[in-house]
Amino acid sequence: MNSIDASHFISFEGIDFSGKSTQISLLKEFLEENHYTVYFLREPGDTEISEKIRQILLDKNHHCMNEWAEIFLYSAARVQLVAERIIPLLKEGQIVIADRYVDSTTAYQGYGRQLDLDVVKTINQAATFGLLPGITFYLELTPDELFKRMNNADRTADRLETAGIEFFKRVFNGYKQIANLNKQRFCVIDAVQSIESIHQKIVKEVSKRIGL
Ligand SMILES: Nc1ncnc2c1ncn2[C@@H]1O[C@H](COP(=O)(O)OP(=O)(O)O)[C@@H](O)[C@H]1O
Ligand SMILES: [Mg+2]
């Protein structure tokens, strides 16, 4: 995927409740105020086919879903999104923000579900044509902080959120390792700071890297 310039491709990562949606909407607002058009995509979803796959993945009745079926479904949704939306937008020079991308699969299916990491890497490569974001903001929230936030919010737990603290500890540790292996691309932010202070850090980094 050498021909695609991914410098305008920004992904957000972090466990549920880490503040991704909050920060994405603030960043989108900031960029739009500065006259940029921003394309926000959510994973899994944002194409007709990917949204149908999303419904299967998030269906609470599917607790018997095999973990390999799960990774292939996430990856099928992703490859459709990359081919149909992300690559054409980047070719036009647009700014693309993704709420979760390939690192989520490594963290959740690789580390969380403990699938073979080499196989996960191969699947991820195939599901993205090797296309990685220019910047990945990782909002780091410890599992303890996650459960605190979850208890304070009146949001129901989806299938992944019902997996328990041990699962989230593995995911947390997985994200740490992914961040260490991708220091250039990753911008790690402590998610326990105020919303405004996180936003300012993100704006500073985006401005620096995209040259706004
Ligand atoms: N920095 C923060 N400090 C405290 N609470 C936050 C912060 N960022 C987000 N929240 C709250 O945590 C909850 C989850 O935030 P959200 O942006 O939906 O996270 P995510 O998209 O990662 O699941 C929301 O109730 C939100 O208001
Ligand atoms: Mg969200």
CA distance 36 to 27: 11
Residue 157's pLDDT band, with cuts at 50, 70 and 90, is: very low
Q: What is the overall mean pLDDT for the chain? A: 93
Q: What is the mean pLDDT of residues 82-97?
A: 97
Q: Show the domains of the chain with their CATH numbers.
A: 9-210 (3.40.50.300)
Task: Give Cβ neighbours of residue 32 (< 8 Å, ≥ 6 apart).
Answer: 38
17 in ligand 1 pocket by Cβ < 6 Å? yes
Using the mean position of ligand 2's atoms as its centre, give its distance from the Cα of residue 99 in Å: 7
Task: Give Cβ neighbours of residue 202 (< 8 Å, ≥ 6 apart).
Answer: 23, 26, 27, 137, 187, 189
pLDDT for position 152: 82
Q: Cis omega (within 30 of 0) on the bond before 44? A: yes
Residue 122 above 70 pLDDT? yes
47 in ligand 1 pocket by Cβ < 6 Å? no
CA distance 79 to 128: 6
Using the mean position of ligand 1's atoms as its centre, give its distance from the Cα of residue 157 in Å: 15
Using the mean position of ligand 1's atoms as its centre, give its distance from the Cα of residue 125 in Å: 30
- From the CA of 139, give the closest atom in ligand 1: 22
Residue 109 above 70 pLDDT? yes
Nearest 10 degrees: CA dihedral of 4, 8, 209, 40? Answer: -150
pLDDT digits (tens, 9 = 90+) for 35-69: 999 999 999 999 999 999 999 998 989 889 999 99
pTM: 0.94
CA distance 137 to 90: 19
- From the CA of 197, give the closest atom in ligand 1: 1
Higher-pLDDT residue of 157 and 193 is: 193
